[in-house]
Structure 1
Amino acid sequence: MENYVLIMSLGNVIMTPENEIMDLKSVVYYSSRDGWLRRLKLLLEHRSKDEVGALVGAETHGATPLVMACRNGHYDVAEYLIEKCGADVEQPGSVVFDGETIEGAPPLWCAAAAGHLALVKLLVRRGAIVNSTTKTNSTPLRAACFDGHYDIVKFLVQYGADIEMANRHGHTCLMIACYRGHIRIAKYLLFLKADANRKSIKGNTALHDCAESGFLEVLKLLIEHGARMDVDCFGMTPLLAAAVTGNTCIVEYLIGMPHLVSRQERIDALELLGATYVDKKRDMIGALEFWKRAMDERFRSDKPAIPKPPPPPEVAAYNFAREIHDPEALDELLVDPDEMRMQALLIRERILGPAHPDTSYYIRYRGAIYADAGKFWRCIELWSYALEMQQSMLEPLNPMTQSSLFSFTELFSFMIGEENRQTRRGRMVPKPVQKRELFTVFTKAAMEVKVGKQMLDKVPTSERDLTYLNRVLVITLHLACLLTREMPEEDTQEYHSLHRALYKLVRTNARGKRGRDALQLIHSEDGALVGRYPTCKFPALHLTQALLRVGADVTSKDYDGNTALHLIALSHPWRPDLAIALLDAGAHIDAVNLEGKTFETLLNDKRHYDSVNPLKYTTLACLAARVVRRTHHIDTVPPHLRDFVLMH
């Protein structure tokens, strides 16, 4: 029996043969997605025009039936939806390609991206706009270029597709075709006079893209069409882009073109490629060969020498290593692999500079290798150096800085867990976590919160995205949680320094998602930090008490009007110790949120409420405020009392 036969229809509720109950809108959506034309006809043929229009225009999981039919290549379903049901050929939706959700994708974009030429022709014939875009300003033509659908590219161009229309990052159709290695499409676009030297927002060109991805034939094609060796916003040429990604064939081709590449650029490319061989390819012998070639180029007998620049101050994180300046010393590196790894970091920092993402990335990578080998203190040194670099060079709340802070949180959590268990996977922790290192990272994280909030304060409220601030604030609070697990003795320097740092964090008054401050975050699901070593989990009484000691406001409310006490009532399992800590600090047991709910009404068990001895925390002033709230209009209440009355 065919799966699409319906057993029962009760209004807008459908029961399928598998006894699954779903609404009519969902059945229309899934029929389109799975290509069940007969099911669609059975559902829609006897319904009114208005009802059919509402069903085919409705979104399920962010997409319309037509969007899903185009995404999955169901021509007959799409044709039926357009011609018989009046589906809007421009109505966008959300679709998934290669695990990534594309927002605001028109049906034509979906068909072009998925390679369904017949559907593309159908949509264009029915009036679809060939230059319609997704939310990221990606056109159907760009979507076809991405996966190499040459016939669709030609068809769209013939019907007016703009070959120079870029997405929100400034990436053109030629750039994406070159990055993906689709040489036939690249040739076609260049034949149409596509700009081979067009730059993206970050300054990269199509030549950068194919050098980075390693497509030599595409690179040769671009050079034949006049592509230049420009630099991007990091000062990277296509040659350096190939070297940093380890595309040796492209490096060798470009350094053999003296009209495009200078002698100094050849040297830099060979040295950088050697560093890539050390860290990415793990080929020490290959790396040494490139460094020797670079050294030979520096000291050629037929040309003036080009010595390396004067060395910068020695860095403790690099074990005070200095970059080798003479050919004889290179041979000695093979007997000291660790020194060779430090040379790779030094070379990369010199050539790329501290602002380039790969500079700090490979410092962190090397630190992670040390951590895996149990050399945690070498890891901490390198990661601290990378974090300083990121905070000095990158904008506040940059994802790379977030990643560094999160890695520290996981590392310290692991080390503290090891102290308790002594061993994990057979590895021993050489010495316990030093509060000094943990405190240093915490203060850097707190500073990131502060400058991040200052940056967002300059953005109009309606345009603020709190995602990054929320994550950095949560990471900072987890570091604080680790710090306060074992409090130093009162009246010691360590005790006062810790509380001063916590006070500064609280005074920043940074708020994450849903307008939650530090105290609210550590008592809510928004404060969860998913990590491999969750030594510190929220909520934690010791952190709550520490924040209260430095003046965290127990009456502060989030966008829903919830205080930290409300959030405790909503959390599981029930923690009376946390509720009592907040009540002792002045939280109002009868405060209401925007829905008029109190701590008591949010609790799912009356015994929980009784366990905190509510009478102890019910004051005469609170009782009076309740009465005034019920019996008086708020405008009749003296201004200095209104906030207190409205709280109850």
Structure 2
Amino acid sequence: MLVAAKTAGATPLVIACRNGHYDVAEYLIEKCHADLELPGSVMFDGETIEGAPPLWCAAAAGHLDIVKLLVAHGAKVNTTTRTNSTPLRAACFDGHLDIVKYLVQHGADIEVANRHGHTCLMIACYKGHIRIARYLLGLTASVNRKSVKGNTALHDCAESGSLEILKLLIEHGATMDVDSYGMTPLLAAAVTGHNHIVEYLIKIPHLVSRRERIDALELLGATCVDKKRDMIGALDLWKRAMQDRYHGDGPPIPKQRTRKVPAYDYAVEIAEPDRLDDLLADPDEMRMQALVMRERILGPAHPDTSYYVRYRGAVYADAGKFNRCIELWNYALDMQQCMLGRLNPMTQSSLFSFTELFSFMMGEEGKQTSRGRVVPSVEVTDILTVFNKAVEEVEQGSLTLERLSNVERDMNYLTRVMVITLHLACLLTRLLDHHTSTEEITKEIHGAIYKLVKLKIRAKSGRTMLHLACCKDVAILGRYPACQFPSPHLAEVLLRVGADPNLPDDDGNTALHLAAHARPCPAAVAQALLDGGAHLDLVNADGATFADLLKGQKAHELVNSAKYTGLSCAAARVIRQFKIPYKGVVPKKLESFIACH
């Protein structure tokens, strides 16, 4: 029992193998008969690896002596972690060639891939371990095998910048395949800014066509602008691409005309070589050229397209050009909601960035930025635009989850998007107090929040929007006073547009119970809930009322209990207190009312 027990998710043998304690491992195996296959949770490079067998831990940590000990006592060499990573793959990841050879000699399968479809060869290429890559290729490892997302070992080399391994792969027959985004290894190198990889590949005509060569040079130029801030280098690359486009082998390849995008300031790609030099006098135009070029080559579905649009918006925000930032970020958000699956982390990130930006602007309105610009007031229409997109993400994300089985359904992403949406709603409710707020604006804000409430979507633990608004631990913007939770402003508006204050979550807590957990309970929130119809004496799953949860604070000091205790509630309490039979005696609809008191 002791040898099989786990501390922080790991058995003694797993801990000994992870940390290289040979004598301890030997004792546990030979004297205590520890289970060689019993997995545990271990930390590597700050990441928790779940379900790691002892052999995997020893191989990943580079302890050859313990690897030999385990194999000698019958450990299975192809056992895997929860993500289907083998001990061999773990050794390839950190470059332990001696362990790689030993495991292969004792039956390790070099082609077992993890759950993402990444093989031992792929990870060795990505991490730049040329000796391991050469050894695996000598064992005829599949050089063109694809992962779940369609990338090959050649993609991994191009992304990591390992030119020598890339040459080795080509010698062994690697081909220029595309991944699920339509990216070749050449474009992958251009996106990451590895000039040496691009320059090498474009000189291999049987691998790279003329059009692919032009796209790679143009994309590499865009990377120089946005990632390296190298305008001169970008211009040189664009000139080379233009030369190849109009004067290379074969007929000219005119630039594809793209639509004018307001977020890009209606920039149109330059198609005439003599106009390129003019860009140096207008860096802003050059940055827009890079965004237009990247979207044309990579397409809107590629994560880097929206990433660099967001990056450019952030740069504008730092410079005090908030309107340009908001315009670019909205364009990126539209792109993500159209191209990515619902509740995607990138979409969440975009929505959260908006929340931070708007909160900053509301808190710093009228003050000067470090660049000398005055922070403008936030436009209601700007927040409403993003809020409506967030509501759509909540609605569509919830529908997506409903189509999944209970086992596959993960509420974390939906809950996070709901919380971000509530922060935006909180900002809107703060604007209602602003001196510029009109009856029309009030109506529009209430209408937008009503659309959210009427969805009746529940977050993790069965919490409604009102629950979240009254919960302290949903605050994700602690340093901005415009977004403090629990929020009396938000709770009041949610109640006004139809939120039910007495709905319980999975633990039987109403919004009033969660407000009590805030410690200290904000009186304004409790008051708003009670004024909105919350029952003061409802009990949660533990039988606790609002007053029971205050712990040290007296209910009457927060609210006038007598004012909010109705005759029906008092009657229900008496029935429960004295265990008076009521089922089948009172009308059916009253039974649940009595039961929760």
TM-score, scaled relative to structure 2: 0.96
Which letter does structure 1 place at the counterpart of 2:596? M
Runs of 4+ in 1 over 6 A off after TM superposition: 488-491
Instruction: Kindly indicate whether residue 349 of structure 2 is the aligned counterpart of residue 403 of structure 1.
Output: yes
CA distance in 2, matches of 1:266, 1:301: 11
Equivalent residue of 1:324, what SS?
A: coil
Structure 2 residue aligned with 1:440: 385
CA distance in 2, matches of 1:646, 1:194: 67
Query: For each residue in 1:529-562, what CA deviation from the matched residue of structure 2 results, as whole angstroms up to 9, or x when unmatched?
Result: 1465453111121111110111111111111110
Give 1:424 shift: 5.4
Give 1:143 shift: 0.5
The 5 A counterparts of 1:50-61 are: 54-61=1-8
Give 1:636 shift: 6.2
Equivalent of residue 308 in structure 2, options 359, 362, 381: 362
CA distance in 2, matches of 1:80, 1:530: 51
Which letter does structure 2 place at the counterpart of 1:91? L
Structure 2 residue aligned with 1:153: 100
Query: For each residue in 1:552-602, what CA deviation from the matched residue of structure 2 results, as whole angstroms up to 9, or x when unmatched?
Result: 111111111100000111112221221121112111111111111111111
In structure 2, the CA distance between the partners of 1:248 and 1:90, relative to structure 1 (3 Å rule), is same
Structure 2 residue aligned with 1:646: 595
Instruction: Kindly indicate whether residue 93 of structure 2 is the aligned counterpart of residue 109 of structure 1.
Output: no
Structure 2 residue aligned with 1:431: 376
More displaced 10-residue stretch of structure 1: 530-539 or 126-135: 530-539
Equivalent of residue 317 in structure 2, options 367, 371, 374: 371
In structure 2, the CA distance between the partners of 1:286 and 1:600, relative to structure 1 (3 Å rule), is same
CA distance in 2, matches of 1:166, 1:476: 39
Structure 1 residue aligned with 2:432: 487
Structure 2 residue aligned with 1:178: 125
Equivalent of residue 98 in structure 1, options 45, 55, 66: 45
Structure 2 residue aligned with 1:253: 200
CA distance in 1, matches of 2:99, 2:582: 67
Structure 1 residue aligned with 2:486: 539
Give 1:495 shift: 1.8
Aligned length: 593
Give 1:627 shift: 3.4
Instruction: Kindly indicate whether residue 264 of structure 2 is the aligned counterpart of residue 318 of structure 1.
Output: yes
Give 1:526 shift: 3.8
In structure 2, the CA distance between the partners of 1:636 and 1:188, relative to structure 1 (3 Å rule), is farther
CA distance in 1, matches of 2:481, 2:111: 49
CA distance in 1, matches of 2:84, 2:581: 54
Give 1:303 shift: 2.0
In structure 2, the CA distance between the partners of 1:531 and 1:100, relative to structure 1 (3 Å rule), is farther
| Contact 2:475 2:483 (8 Å CA) reproduced | no
Which letter does structure 2 place at the counterpart of 1:457? E
In structure 2, the CA distance between the partners of 1:78 and 1:448, relative to structure 1 (3 Å rule), is same
Give 1:84 shift: 1.7
CA distance in 2, matches of 1:73, 1:132: 19
Equivalent of residue 566 in structure 1, options 505, 513, 518: 513
Which letter does structure 1 place at the counterpart of 2:591? R
Query: For each residue in 1:122-179, what CA deviation from the matched residue of structure 2 results, as whole angstroms up to 9, or x when unmatched?
Result: 1112222111111111111110000110111111111211111111111111110110
Query: For each residue in 1:263-321, what CA deviation from the matched residue of structure 2 results, as whole angstroms up to 9, or x when unmatched?
Result: 00000000000000111111111111110000000111652000111232x11111111
Give 1:438 shift: 1.1
CA distance in 2, matches of 1:491, 1:281: 47
Instruction: Kindly indicate whether residue 253 of structure 2 is the aligned counterpart of residue 306 of structure 1.
Output: yes
Which letter does structure 2 place at the counterpart of 1:406? F
The 5 A counterparts of 1:322-471 are: 322-419=268-365, 422-423=367-368, 425=370, 427-471=372-416
Structure 1 residue aligned with 2:573: 626
Structure 2 residue aligned with 1:525: 472
Which letter does structure 2 place at the counterpart of 1:639? K
In structure 2, the CA distance between the partners of 1:622 and 1:270, relative to structure 1 (3 Å rule), is same
Equivalent residue of 2:115, what SS?
A: coil
Equivalent residue of 1:631, what SS?
A: coil
CA distance in 1, matches of 2:256, 2:230: 26
Instruction: Kindly indicate whether residue 539 of structure 2 is the aligned counterpart of residue 601 of structure 1.
Output: no
CA distance in 1, matches of 2:93, 2:230: 33
| Contact 2:190 2:220 (8 Å CA) reproduced | yes
In structure 2, the CA distance between the partners of 1:344 and 1:424, relative to structure 1 (3 Å rule), is closer
| Contact 1:410 1:532 (8 Å CA) reproduced | no
More displaced 10-residue stretch of structure 1: 373-382 or 534-543: 534-543
CA distance in 2, matches of 1:491, 1:295: 54
Structure 2 residue aligned with 1:296: 243
| Contact 1:554 1:582 (8 Å CA) reproduced | yes
Query: For each residue in 1:590-623, what CA deviation from the matched residue of structure 2 results, as whole angstroms up to 9, or x when unmatched?
Result: 1111111111111112523453111222222122
Consecutive unaligned residues in structure 1, runs of 5 or more: 1-53
Q: Identity of paired residues, percent?
A: 67
Which letter does structure 1 place at the counterpart of 2:131? R
CA distance in 2, matches of 1:82, 1:524: 50
CA distance in 1, matches of 2:558, 2:226: 58
Structure 2 residue aligned with 1:29: none
Structure 2 residue aligned with 1:576: 523
Give 1:486 shift: 2.7
Query: For each residue in 1:88-138, what CA deviation from the matched residue of structure 2 results, as whole angstroms up to 9, or x when unmatched?
Result: 211111111111111111111111100000011111122221111111111
Equivalent of residue 223 in structure 2, options 264, 276, 284: 276
TM-score, scaled relative to structure 1: 0.89
In structure 2, the CA distance between the partners of 1:121 and 1:543, relative to structure 1 (3 Å rule), is same
In structure 2, the CA distance between the partners of 1:634 and 1:64, relative to structure 1 (3 Å rule), is farther
